[in-house]
Amino acid sequence: MSKDNEGAIWKNEKREKDTHPHFTGSATIDGVEYYVNAWKRGEDANEKAPALKFSFKPKGEKQSAPAAPAAKGGGFVDDDIPW
């Protein structure tokens, strides 16, 4: 665990595809631990593009289940109706 409002990234030695991050690591922001992924600017990117692009995902956060599709007829479903 890093100090609050600090983090670190390292080279991703397991990178296999272009979509995988170049760097991975962790950070603690306001007491919440996050996984950090970072991608380098592409060789063909605009010079004004960021040198690194980051994404943060809270550690311990479970992925939510996909939302159930809406029912036909306005979304009202009542299984107690006999017809």
Q: Domain range holding 37? A: 6-58
Query: Would you say residue 13 lies in a domain?
Result: yes
Name the band, by pLDDT with cuts 50, 70 and 90, for residue 71.
very low
Query: Would you say residue 74 lies in a domain?
Result: no
pTM listed for this prediction: 0.65
Characterize 40-79 residue by residue with b for buried, 16 or more Cβ atoms within 10 angstroms of its Cβ, and e for exposed.
Answer: eeeeeeeeeeeeeebeeeeeeeeeeeeeeeeeeeeeeeee
Query: Would you say residue 65 lies in a domain?
Result: no
- How many structural domains are present in the chain? 1
Angle at 7 between CA 12 and CA 22, to 5 degrees: 20
Query: Would you say residue 1 lies in a domain?
Result: no
Query: Would you say residue 67 lies in a domain?
Result: no
17 vs 66, residue with greater confidence: 17
